Amino acid sequence: MAGTLFTKIINREIPADIVYEDELSLAFRDINPQAPVHLLIIPKQEIPTINDIELNDRELVGHLFLVAKKLATEMGFAEDGYRVVMNCNESAGQTVFHIHLHLLAGKTLGWPPYTDRAKV
């Protein structure tokens, strides 16, 4: 099997609780939720990190935000509030190298969002 973990989810080689799909993107529930609602919104195209986003990808990346807005509206927390985050590389905590928006909602979210982690 080739491709990232998330491509395997797109291809239904790994199960996931999928909440939305279109020709460009997929959204599913995070396996280790950090809020009552924790979705991952991914492009079907594999792009490892934010650093790999090219000019040609700008519509695709913008599309991910429109999906976030659509899901927030349809799930009923758009007005209450939510957070959209994309981690880039190790110091930000990225563990899956296929870009993804985290969509977090359903509680009052703390800010700043980080805890210091010792770098070894």
Which of 77, 94 has the CB closer to ligand 5GP?
A: 94
DSSP 71-106: HHHHHT-TTT-EEEE---SGGGT--SSS--EEEEES
**Catalytic annotation present for 100:** yes
Of 101, 90, 98, 102, which is closest to residue 47 (Cα–Cα)? Answer: 98
What SS3 class is residue 67?
helix
Decide: is 28 part of the binding site for ligand 5GP (CB under 6 A): yes
Write the interaction track for ligand 5GP spanning residues 62-101; mark x where CB under 6 A is met and - where it is not.
-------------------------x-----xxxx-----
Contacts with ligand 5GP, residue ranges (CB under 6 A) = 5, 14, 16, 28, 30-32, 40, 87, 93-96
